[in-house]
Amino acid sequence: MVDGIFEPPESLLLSAIANNKRIVALFAVLLALLGVGFGLLRQPTYTASATLQVGQVNPNSPGFLGYVQSASSLATAFSRSIAAAPVLAAIDRKLDVAAGEATPRLSAEPIPLAPAFRVIGTGPSDSSAIRLANTAAGAIIVYENRSNSSNPQARSLLGDYRLASLELRRTEAKLAALGTSADADALAEAEAERAAARVKVKGIDTAYIAAVASQAPREGLVSLVAGATSASSDRKSKIELYGFLGLLAGLVVGCAAAVLRERRL
């Protein structure tokens, strides 16, 4: 039996790495340092968040559990208003940040199993991120309270009520002008017009009251729980990421250089 006949052939890559450990380590360290340097030179991005709450929480109320479930769904829906035109217009007016610039710097996320959501703002400095998050949160509060408290049907019914009231006054004046000595048919027609006008006014009045009662409150629909007071930087995480990517790239390049050197030898 020939010695070593059953031994597997040694891998070129493994032998190249074993014989050229210094080259592999050198490339890994160099590219890792380049990645760390790139992370240090990169402009960091700061992130701040403000927390908004939907409605008023009262744990002692009988329907507290149902409120939490429904308000959680509302929080998800209200969080999408971060990109609403009135919200972006308020940010542009207060911070002089155009909508095209503010949109990629803003986001919102609902808090799981809670009637609240976060408004997240980013910026090149901690102060800019804090201002953006707080301004966007305030704009969302104003927008949601205003848009949900107004009912177009109520405004339309109010106009109809005014017209119906004028019509009722007209029929009453007509009936008074006819007097008791007027023709019976004309008097009956005037009384019928007055009765119809009264019914119309009463019906519109009932519908208007119902429409107003169904409106959401003007205050407290969305409220601020915690404003943004500090911002976190991604500098450390990016340095670690680029350093790790540089290390991986250095290992690959070092292994390739070791294999080429081994082949030449």
Domain definitions of the chain by residue range? 46-150+217-239, 152-213
Kindly calculate the radius of gyration of the chain based on its CA atoms and give it in whole angstroms: 37
CB 190 within 8 A of CB 168: no
Reported as half-sphere exposure (CB side, CA atoms, 13 A), residue 257 has a value of 15
List the alpha helices (DSSP H) in 42-151. Answer: 64-79, 85-95, 99-102, 126-149
CB 41 within 8 A of CB 238: no
Say which CATH architecture domain 46-150+217-239 belongs to: 2-Layer Sandwich (3.30)
- Pairing state between β 106-110 and 116-123: antiparallel
Query: Tens of pLDDT along the chain (265 residues)?
Result: 455 444 444 577 777 777 888 888 899 999 999 999 998 888 899 999 999 988 655 444 444 444 455 667 777 888 888 988 999 999 999 999 898 899 999 999 988 877 889 999 999 999 999 999 999 999 998 888 777 655 556 667 677 778 888 887 888 787 777 776 667 777 778 778 888 888 887 887 777 666 655 555 555 578 888 888 999 998 899 999 999 999 999 999 988 888 888 888 7
